Amino acid sequence: MGAGHGHTLHYHGHSAIHRLPAHVKIVALVLFVLAVVATPREAFWPYAAHLTALVGAVLVSRVPLSYIGTRMVVEVPFVVFALLVPFVAIGPRVAVGPFEVSAPGLVAAWALLAKGTLGVIASLLAAATTEARDLVAGFERLRLPQPLVQIMSFMLRYTEVVAGELSRMRIARDSRGFRARSIRQWPVLGHTLGALFIRSYERGERVHLAMLSRGYAGRLPSLHPRTATSGEWAVGGILPGVAVLVCAAALVIAR
């Protein structure tokens, strides 16, 4: 229970983006993603403009590009799905090397990759420049329903605790000579996940009883997030503002 309450995505720094209040960054992230999603998928230059603005924000934050890049593995399932879309989509077929794929599927795959990549980079930037506690406080400041705020708070607080429990179970398996080399070891991995679930559930009950004994009545103490000045809102609005302008220009040209 004494584990740290940070998160592994955070990159310590003192840039202008780091100093922005969390709720400003949350609003900026949502607006930027909405602008990217609304951008016509048939155009290519708007996505290059979005990416340029986003890379500029990363450089201003002084978060290394390699730090963002190594954490983009979360996008791998979307990349795999996008690569499959041209083969399973219907519509006119075009030749791409030795393969014949769907033309609408190619456009859909491009849009999925472009919009997904921009969204992932923007999300990683927000996570890298904001402490976990500040993120929760930011959502509270934005009047997110209190049950959702509490769920996020507990998730951030105890994810590392559960991960540590899983690591200890893995070490215990390895010390007994276990190696997952084939499908025959899957039952052991299944038992591990089952045991982890039981332990996590029991830990949750103990934590809940401890909270009740300390006067918990369904609401956590306020995190007192700080307010944002007009200057901070202006700084936070630069990236989504550029994205909205690019999206609007792309829509006008598309007409």
Q: Provide the domain count of the chain.
A: 2
pLDDT in tens, 203-250: 889 988 998 898 877 776 665 667 889 999 999 999 999 999 999 999
Decide if 10 is inside a domain.
no
Same domain for 68 and 189: no
Res 222: pLDDT:
64
Same domain assignment for residues 153 and 120:
no
More confident residue, 57 or 181: 57
Q: Is residue 52 part of a domain?
A: yes
Q: Could you count the other beta carbons within 10 Å of the beta carbon of residue 195?
A: 13
In this predicted structure, the answer to whether residue 6 has a pLDDT above a threshold of 80 is no
Question: Which of 19-33, 90-104, 121-135 shows the highest mean pLDDT?
Answer: 19-33
Residue 240 has what pLDDT?
95
Q: Please give the model's pTM, rounded to 2 decimal places.
A: 0.79
Confidence (pLDDT) at 217: 75
Decide if 73 is inside a domain.
yes
186 and 170: one domain?
yes
Model pLDDT for residues 29-58, shown as the tens digit of each residue: 999 999 999 999 888 899 999 999 999 999
- The 3-class secondary structure across the chain, one letter per residue, is CCCCCCCCCCCCCCCHHHHCCHHHHHHHHHHHHHHHHHCCCCCCHHHHHHHHHHHHHHHHHCCCHHHHHHCHHHHHHHHHHHHHHHHHCCCCEEEECCEEEEHHHHHHHHHHHHHHHHHHHHHHHHHHCCCHHHHHHHHHHCCCCHHHHHHHHHHHHHHHHHHHHHHHHHHHHHHCCCCCCCHHHHHHHHHHHHHHHHHHHHHHHHHHHHHHHCCCCCCCCCCCCCCCCHHHHHHHCHHHHHHHHHHHHHHHHHC
- Range of the structural domain that residue 208 is part of: 144-213
Examine the domain organization and report whether 24 and 124 are in the same domain: yes
Same domain, 129 and 148: no
pLDDT one-digit tens code per residue, 87-122: 888 888 887 778 888 888 888 888 899 999 999 999
